[in-house]
Structure 1
Amino acid sequence: MNLLPKMIIPFGLTLLGAVHSGAAEVPKQPSDIKIEVGIGTRNQAPLVLVAGLDFRSLDFRVQGMGMHYGENDFWASIRGSLLWTCFSELPFKFDVGIGAGYEYAEAPNKMHQAINNANKKKYVYPFNYKEELDISMEMWVHMYGLYTQISVPFYQFKDHDAQNVLWGVGFTYTL
């Protein structure tokens, strides 16, 4: 007879129960470092993933993502922020600081494609594009994980069809 499987299951459950009850007795120390993960949207990018590292009231956040649908139909966005948090222990808090980002997008332009096809020559680009590389002042407002973000570029290295005020909304979860 094989008694080993019959012995492992009760032993494993007993060990798991002992570890769980022992862990419940250890008081948890509040950590100075918190990790944030989330998802959102921006006016320059339809979907971004957000990752953050908070040390006391100093936060560093990175957000970005990209999609490629085909030739002249893609977008990419990356933005980093260094922020100071006010009211960090409350459900409502806001962050102010500085950020930098690069965003690029191309989308087909059917009107331009029709002009080129009618003339049988390439007179205009068959796509529209937006490109931005900037340094911005930023403000984030959080309430129970939901956030809004406003970025006002004060220096733009590249600017082609870019917005004057950048915004974002989404949800972050603190681990």
Structure 2
Amino acid sequence: MDWYSSIFELIDMRSFSNLWFWIALAVFWSSASHWVIGVPFDMVLRARRVGGQAEHDLETITRVNVNRLLYIARVSGIWLLGFSCFMLSGLAVLGFWYHVEFAQALLFLVFPMSLVGAMSLATARRIEQEAATGELLRKRLARHRFFTQVIGMISIFFTALWGMYQNLTIGVLGS
């Protein structure tokens, strides 16, 4: 028996029938909802409960991350936007025109995250414009996390629907 075929039998290389894809999807969205604009959400909760130094730490780390995001957007935002659109459209063409399942899976991961990235940039701009601190800052971060979770739930739902469709179609065609 060939070891190469044994490994590929053990690890199914089709994306939507692979357990590792679904684990990665869950970890991906869990991390995205925990790290709000680069700030761990437990800091927001601790600042709300404790205040004082925890509040100051939250404001400091948020200021650093907001400045970092806005600097990147101002310096190379157009290039990043162009590259992102190129990659997303390339994945869409490969996935849905040429029926490459791996490209479909990547698109289902990356496209919603690009929406979260745009939302992060908008939230960072808003925090900077308002010079948000204290309760307003916590409100902005909590709202951002809520909408990230909404995008994540919708993404997981449609990924699961498409994945089931792919598995049923390939299962029927493969038989």
Report the TM range for the smaller structure's normalisation.
under 0.3
Q: TM-score, normalised by structure 2?
A: 0.22
Structure with the bigger percentage of helix: 2
Structure with greater contact order relative to length (CA < 8 Å, sep ≥ 6)? 2
Structure with the bigger percentage of strand: 1
